[in-house]
C-alpha cells in the first residue's frame, strides 16, 4: 500500500524555467550577448546552474571560469526565484487531493536546499510538505538513492511504500535504486529526452493521472 508520494521540484511540481532562464540571460546581457529563447533554456532547466551555464556559455565544471559564474548565476537566481515561477496546472489540485486522502507528500530535489526552501516559502508550500531534501542535504545527490532514503527516514515510511515522481532519467534511476515505484511526467523539462526509454513504472500525461494510479 502506498503511504507517501515524493516529488522532484523543478519541472515536476513547479515551472521554474522562466526564472532560471532569466538569470542566465541577465548574465549574457551584462556580457553583451543576445538573450536565449525559452526553447533553448527550458529543456535543461532541471539541470540547474550546470545546464544553464552550459547552454548559455558553453562551459561546465572544470572550466576556469565555471565556479565564479556558477556563484553569479545562483545569486541572480536567488534574487529572482519567484518572478514567474508557478505550480504546473493541476498540481495544486493534486496536492489538495493527497491531503484529503491523508497521504503524506514531500520533495526530493537536486536544487540546493536553501533555494528549494526559499521557493517553497514563496509558493506557500513549506508547511504542507512532509519533508524537503535538497541536492546538498545528503553527501550524494540523485541519481544516487541517498536523498530518497533521507526523505523516507524523515517521513518514517519504507521505500517500497512510496512513489517517486519526476521529469528526468535521474529521477527514475534514483527511485528504482531506492526500491520505489517511479512515475515520469510528460509535462516536465525531460532534459530534451524521451521518457518512454527511462523504464519508469508509469508515464503521467497530467497530474490527475497519479490519482488514478493511487
Q: What is the CATH number of the domain that holds 207?
A: 3.40.50.1000
Residue-wise pLDDT for 116-169, tens only, equals 999 999 999 999 999 999 999 999 999 999 999 999 999 999 999 999 999 999
Band of pLDDT at residue 191, cut at 50, 70 and 90? confident
Domain that holds residue 181: 4-15+85-213
Write down the pTM of the prediction: 0.96
Residues 74 and 95 in one domain: no
Residues 99 and 157 in one domain: yes
Q: What is the rounded CA–CA span in Å between residue 27 and residue 53?
A: 10
Residues 129 and 89 in one domain: yes
Residue numbers annotated as active site: 8, 10
Residues 95 and 159 in one domain: yes
Residues 203 and 119 in one domain: yes
The 8-class DSSP code of residue 10 comes to: B
Total number of domains constituting the chain = 2
Instruction: Give the domain-ending residue among 79, 107, 122.
Output: 79
Residue-wise pLDDT for 43-93, tens only, equals 999 999 999 999 999 999 999 999 999 999 999 999 999 999 999 999 999
Sequence-separated (6 or more) residues with CB below 8 Å from residue 168: 8, 11, 46, 188, 189, 190, 191
Residues 154 and 199 in one domain: yes
Q: What is the rounded CA–CA span in Å between residue 188 and residue 207?
A: 11
Amino acid at each position: 500500500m502506498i503511504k507517501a508520494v515524493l516529488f522532484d521540484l523543478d519541472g515536476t511540481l513547479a515551472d521554474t524555467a522562466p526564472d532560471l532562464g532569466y538569470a542566465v540571460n541577465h548574465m549574457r546581457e551584462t556580457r553583451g550577448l543576445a538573450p536565449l529563447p525559452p526553447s533553448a533554456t527550458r529543456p535543461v532547466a532541471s539541470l540547474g546552474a550546470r545546464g544553464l551555464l552550459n547552454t548559455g556559455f558553453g562551459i561546465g565544471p572544470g572550466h576556469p571560469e565555471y565556479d565564479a559564474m556558477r556563484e553569479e548565476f545562483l545569486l541572480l537566481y536567488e534574487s529572482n526565484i519567484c518572478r514567474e515561477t508557478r505550480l504546473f496546472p493541476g498540481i495544486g489540485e493534486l496536492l489538495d487531493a493527497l491531503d484529503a486522502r491523508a497521504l503524506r507528500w514531500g520533495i526530493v530535489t537536486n536544487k540546493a536546499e536553501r533555494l528549494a526552501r526559499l521557493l517553497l516559502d514563496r509558493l506557500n508550500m513549506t508547511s504542507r510538505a512532509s519533508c524537503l531534501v535538497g541536492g546538498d542535504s545528503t553527501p550524494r545527490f540523485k541519481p544516487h538513492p541517498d536523498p530518497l532514503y533521507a526523505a523516507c527516514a524523515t517521513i518514517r515510511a519504507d521505500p517500497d511504500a512510496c512513489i517517486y515522481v519526476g521529469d528526468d532519467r535521474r529521477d527514475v534511476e534514483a527511485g528504482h535504486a531506492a526500491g520505489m515505484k517511479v512515475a515520469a511526467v510528460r509535462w516536465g523539462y525531460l532534459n530534451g529526452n524521451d521518457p518512454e526509454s527511462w523504464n519508469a513504472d508509469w508515464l503521467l500525461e497530467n497530474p490527475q493521472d497519479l490519482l488514478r494510479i493511487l
